[in-house]
Amino acid sequence: MNFLLVFIGGGLGSISRFGISVLLKNHGYTLPLATFFANAISCIVLGVLVGWTIKSGQASDIQKYMLITGFCGGFSTFSTFSNETFQLFQSGNVATAFGYVLLSLVVGLFCIYLGMKMGQTI
Under the banding of pLDDT at 50, 70 and 90, the label for residue 31 is confident
DSSP collapsed to 3 states, 25-89: CCCCCCCCHHHHHHHHHHHHHHHHHHHHHHHHCCCCHHHHHHHHHHHHHHHCCHHHHHHHHHHHH
Q: Decide if pLDDT at 21 tops 80.
A: yes
The count of structural domains within the chain is 1
**What pTM value is reported for the model?**
0.91
Residue 106's domain comprises: 2-121
Q: Is 102 exposed, middle or buried, given 0-12, 13-18 or 19+ CB atoms closer than 10 A?
A: exposed
Q: What pLDDT band is residue 25 in, cutting at 50, 70 and 90?
A: confident
Report the pLDDT averaged over residues 58-67. 93
